């Protein structure tokens, strides 16, 4: 009786458990189940064994999508982390403009992928797009280019829009890390005559290790699964240059209703995301402890 009473308060968690069960636990299990079928939405799903998975690992279009996803993620994570650290280090030294600049940099993250995608698509447009017009205005017509129409530059162009959107986010997290650095440590090193660069290199960067971990993990996971910007800006084109794995999932759902195959793809992606997150977490945490 006493134990029952002790646990009665957990009745409060019942609605939340129901929601999580219905929208996470059951769907994950259903996804796993559907991934071994050829379910297209009508009739009873027919078991096809590992056929969906075999397809993913043998067709070149899915292997290419795999590479595209990794390259896209690597570009975004490296550049975004570097830019975010640069802005944070700069703004940390400038308390007078810090808040204003942080807010301004954060503004693109307030906008939807839909709007960022469309606006950048027009910026890259070969017909009076902003980027080519700007190049012409400063006399660099020779650099004009069909940025997202050329398979060689499309992925970089889309990655750049993504980086533009989230640099403020990375900067804000680094700035929060800076706020946690004891100010007397900075003061002491300044008095000892350490230059701005020396302080950055030997005091700030090591102490920012936890912010590195958060930023790298957040942007890696966020970018690995992203389909929004390629979906809006290029639809995976030209010639599959921006076709990411998650875009394949959306494409197999829309109009095609290949639920079985889409489920298999999402399970593969889930394993990829969990694996990358696990390895990164292990590595970055051990790095944190070493410094």
Partner 1 sequence: MKIKRRIGIWLLSAMALILVAFMLLPVVYMLLSSFKSGTEITQNPLGLPASLDFGNYINALSKMNYLRSVLNSIGITLSVTVLVSFIGALAAYPLARRTNRLARALVLLMALGLSTPNFVTITPIYVIFRDIGLLDTYTGLILAFTALNLPLAVFFYTSFIRSIPIELEEAARLDNCSDFRIFWHVIRPLLGPATATLSLFVMLMVWNDFTYPLLLLTDESKFTVMISVYRFVGNHNLSPNDLFPAAVLGSLPLLILFIFFQRRIVSGVTAGAVK
Which of positions 89-108 make contact with partner 1 (CB under 8 A)? 90-91, 93-94, 96-97, 99, 101-108
Scanning residues 181 to 210, which ones bind partner 1 (CB under 8 A)? none
Please give the structure tokens belonging to residue 141: 């017509």
Q: Work out how close the CB of 203 gets to partner 1 at its nearest, in angstroms, rounded to a whole number.
A: 19
Helix (H) or strand (E) holding 219: helix 209-224
Q: Is 20 in the site for partner 1 (CB under 8 A)?
A: yes
Residues 23-62 that bind partner 1 (CB under 8 A): 23-28, 30-31, 34, 39, 41
H or E element, residue 60: helix 60-92
**By CB under 8 A, what part of segment 149-168 binds partner 1?**
164, 167-168
Pick the binder of partner 1 from 4, 9, 44, 191 (CB under 8 A): 9
Query: What span, in angstroms and rounded, lies between the C-alpha atoms of 285 and 290?
Result: 9
By CB under 8 A, is residue 143 in contact with partner 1?
no
* Site size for partner 1 (CB under 8 A): 85
Token pair in block for residue 253: 């759902």
Give the number of other Cβ atoms within 10 Å of residue 100's Cβ. 11
Distance CA 116, CA 233 (A): 9
- Residue closer to partner 1, measured from CB, 79 or 270: 270
Piece of 21-29, 63-71, 73-81, 283-291 that binds partner 1 (CB under 8 A) = 21-29
Tell me the window of 48-56, 61-69, 148-156, 224-232 that interacts with partner 1 (CB under 8 A).
224-232
Task: State in angstroms the smallest separation of the CB of 66 from partner 1.
Answer: 15
- Among 56, 77, 172, 208, the residue binding partner 1 under the rule CB under 8 A is 172
Q: How far lies 188's CA from each of 57, 199, 205, 253, in Å?
A: 57, 10, 17, 59
Question: C-alpha distances in angstroms, 227 versus 30, 114, 121, 158?
Answer: 22, 11, 15, 11
């Amino acid at each position: 009786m006493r134990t029952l009473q002790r646990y009665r308060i957990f009745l409060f968690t019942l609605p939340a458990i129901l929601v999580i069960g219905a929208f996470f636990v059951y769907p994950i299990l259903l996804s796993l189940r559907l991934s071994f079928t050829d379910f297209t939405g009508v009739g009873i799903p027919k078991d096809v064994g590992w056929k969906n998975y075999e397809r993913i690992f043998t067709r070149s279009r899915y292997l290419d999508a795999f590479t595209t996803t990794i390259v896209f993620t690597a570009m975004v994570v490296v550049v975004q982390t570097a830019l975010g650290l640069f802005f944070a280090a700069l703004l940390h030294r400038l308390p007078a403009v810090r808040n204003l600049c942080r807010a301004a940099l954060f503004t693109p993250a307030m906008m939807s992928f839909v709007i960022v995608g469309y606006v950048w698509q027009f910026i890259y447009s070969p017909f009076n797009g902003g980027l080519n017009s700007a190049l012409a205005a400063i006399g660099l017509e020779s650099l004009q280019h069909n940025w997202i129409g050329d398979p060689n530059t499309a992925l970089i162009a889309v990655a750049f829009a993504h980086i533009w959107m989230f640099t403020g986010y990375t900067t804000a997290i680094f700035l929060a890390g800076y706020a946690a650095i004891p100010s007397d440590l900075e003061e002491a090193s300044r008095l000892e005559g350490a230059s701005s660069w020396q302080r950055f290199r030997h005091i700030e960067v090591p102490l920012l290790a936890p912010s590195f971990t958060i930023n790298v993990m957040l942007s890696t996971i966020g970018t690995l699964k992203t389909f929004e910007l390629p979906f809006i800006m290029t639809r995976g084109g030209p010639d599959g240059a921006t076709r990411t794995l998650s875009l394949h999932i959306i494409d197999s759902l829309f109009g095609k209703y290949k639920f079985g195959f889409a489920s298999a793809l999402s399970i593969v992606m889930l394993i990829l995301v969990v694996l990358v997150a696990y390895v990164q977490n292990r590595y970055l945490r051990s790095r944190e402890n070493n410094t």
